[in-house]
């Protein structure tokens, strides 16, 4: 039987954890929609990318590198970029590590720490990879829900953190809510996380949130605690390098970084990505322009959606979490016909919600018009 070499026997070869694993949902593909609906253009608001793209300085750095040649392996640990990041964050370089996107670091953390039966805690709603990677290792994932008003459920967190735990994954700001825990709330989590459990704070949207009043300085808080922790950041969002795949982690101690080096693939961050990230770090004007756009558009679109009677979580990130009041998958399908791609949320309790990335004003307006056409036809 052609193409069915293993058939049912494949199930016996695969680890049971892999058999039941959910596939990561990247959202719809723009090219497919263009063809399917004969659209002139598609607006992709499903992956929280930077509409300005990467810094022109990063593009130049890559062009220079291409001219010099790409035939050799890159520096295996990205020393130059790590040194820049260490200086920027005032930590020793042996406490910094690069990943092929910060997702790579999430994966490496799970590979280094978790085995079957281990317990992991994360948020609901939350980032799917905070659940998929632990499950891949056979760990049990428990999720702490937010309150009815998208807030911090203090009692539920205290109770959940009391149990035996290996790893805690939280994103702050939270993907998909966009909301962030305050300093006090983060202090509660840090204080209640068992000392033998690794606390990971995924700050993929840090650069957007740091401009918002009340956003906590997690690195500063964690530095004062003698406990294992890791803070994750990425070049994919505010820096606009999503296609190049570079993220980084800062750890409580060099030993944790060393463990991750042992489980990673030796050249996990490619040379162009390393060079582009170094250049992007230096281009403060591009970052500021990108954050300013989001700050303006976030306030404007939140207000417009609320004025239309829709519930929107208060966001500190470059996306909004919106209750459409109806099956989000149907809303997303209908939006496709208008040439707009957003993400339908699939977690129980949130299946009427969509997550929409903030983009250029005209694209945000096109989304708003299409959404109001779909959910509230006149
Ligand atoms: C987008 C996102 C990431 C992925 O970042 P990469 O660096 O592109 O891998 C990680 N964590 C959260 C919470 C995100 O939303």
Kindly report the protein residue whose alpha carbon is nearest to atom 15 of ligand 1. Answer: 175
To test the pocket of ligand 1, the residue of 25, 50, 101, 203 to mutate (highest count of ligand atoms within 8 Å of its CB) is 101
Residues with CB under 6 A from ligand 1: 48, 101-103, 127, 171, 175, 202, 204, 234, 236, 242, 247
Q: What is the pLDDT of residue 3?
A: 56
Best substitution site from 103, 130, 264, 276 to test ligand 1's pocket, by max atoms within 8 Å of Cβ? Answer: 103
* pLDDT, tens digit (0-9, with 9 covering 90-100), for 108-161: 999 999 999 999 999 999 999 999 999 999 999 999 999 999 999 999 999 999
Query: Which atom of ligand 1 lies nearest, measured to the CA of 104?
Result: 9
Q: Rounded distance, CA 192 to CA 200, Å?
A: 14
- Regions of the chain with pLDDT less than 70: 1-4, 377-378
- Quote the pLDDT of residue 378: 53
Give the pLDDT of residue 1: 45
Average pLDDT, the chain: 96
pTM: 0.96
Closest residue (by CA) to atom 14 of ligand 1?
204
Mapping DSSP to helix (H, G, I), strand (E, B) and coil, where does residue 100 land?
A: coil
How long a stretch of residues is the chain? 378
The contacts of residue 52 (CB under 8 Å, 6+ apart) are 240, 286, 289, 290, 293
Predicted pLDDT at 4: 64
Task: Give residue 148's pLDDT.
Answer: 96
Task: Please report the domains of the chain, with CATH numbers, ordered by start residue.
Answer: 17-53+284-375 (3.90.1150.10), 56-282 (3.40.640.10)
How much distance in Å is there from the Cα of 44 to the middle of ligand 1?
17
- The per-residue pLDDT for range 7-22, each reduced to its tens digit, is 778 888 999 999 989 8
Q: How far apart are CA 34 and CA 80, in angstroms?
A: 41
Ligand 1 atom 12, closest CA: 204
* Cα 137 to ligand 1 centre (Å): 20
- Ordered alpha helix ranges (H), the chain: 9-13, 16-19, 30-37, 56-68, 79-89, 102-113, 129-136, 154-162, 183-192, 206-209, 218-223, 254-263, 271-282, 284-307, 328-337, 361-375
| Residue 5: per-residue pLDDT | 73
């Amino acid at each position: 039987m052609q193409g069915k070499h293993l058939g049912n026997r494949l199930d016996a070869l695969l680890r049971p954890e892999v058999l039941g694993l959910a596939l990561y949902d990247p959202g719809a593909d723009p090219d497919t929609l263009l063809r399917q609906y004969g659209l002139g253009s598609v607006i992709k608001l499903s992956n929280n990318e930077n509409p300005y793209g990467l810094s022109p300085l990063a593009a130049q750095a890559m062009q220079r590198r291409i001219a010099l040649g790409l035939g050799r392996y890159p520096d295996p640990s990205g020393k130059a970029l790590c040194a820049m990041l260490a200086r920027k964050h005032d930590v020793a370089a042996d406490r910094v590590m690069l990943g092929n996107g910060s997702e790579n670091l999430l994966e490496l953390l799970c590979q280094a720490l978790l085995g079957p039966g281990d317990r992991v805690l994360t948020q609901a709603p939350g980032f799917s990879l905070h659940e998929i990677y632990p499950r891949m290792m056979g760990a049990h994932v428990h999720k702490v829900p937010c309150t009815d008003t998208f807030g911090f459920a203090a009692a539920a967190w205290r109770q959940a953190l009391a149990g035996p735990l290996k790893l805690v994954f939280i994103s702050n700001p939270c993907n998909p809510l966009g909301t962030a825990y305050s300093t006090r709330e983060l202090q509660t989590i840090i204080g209640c996380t068992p000392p033998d459990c690794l606390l990971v704070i995924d700050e993929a949207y840090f650069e957007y949130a740091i401009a918002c009043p009340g956003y906590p300085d997690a690195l500063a808080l964690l530095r004062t605690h003698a406990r294992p922790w890791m803070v994750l950041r990425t070049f994919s969002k505010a820096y606009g390098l999503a296609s190049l795949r570079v993220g980084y982690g800062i750890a409580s101690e060099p030993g944790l970084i060393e463990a991750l080096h042992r489980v990673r693939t030796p050249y996990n961050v490619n040379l162009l990505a390393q060079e582009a990230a170094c250049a992007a770090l230096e281009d403060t004007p591009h970052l500021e322009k990108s954050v300013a756009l989001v700050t303006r558009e976030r306030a404007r679109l939140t207000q417009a959606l609320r004025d239309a009677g829709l519930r929107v979580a208060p966001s500190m990130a470059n996306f909004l979490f919106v209750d459409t009041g109806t099956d989000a998958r149907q809303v997303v399908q209908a939006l496709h016909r208008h040439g707009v791609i957003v993400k339908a949320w699939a977690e129980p309790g949130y299946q009427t919600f969509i997550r929409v990335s903030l983009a250029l004003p005209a694209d945000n307006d096109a989304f708003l018009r299409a959404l109001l056409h779909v959910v509230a036809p006149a």
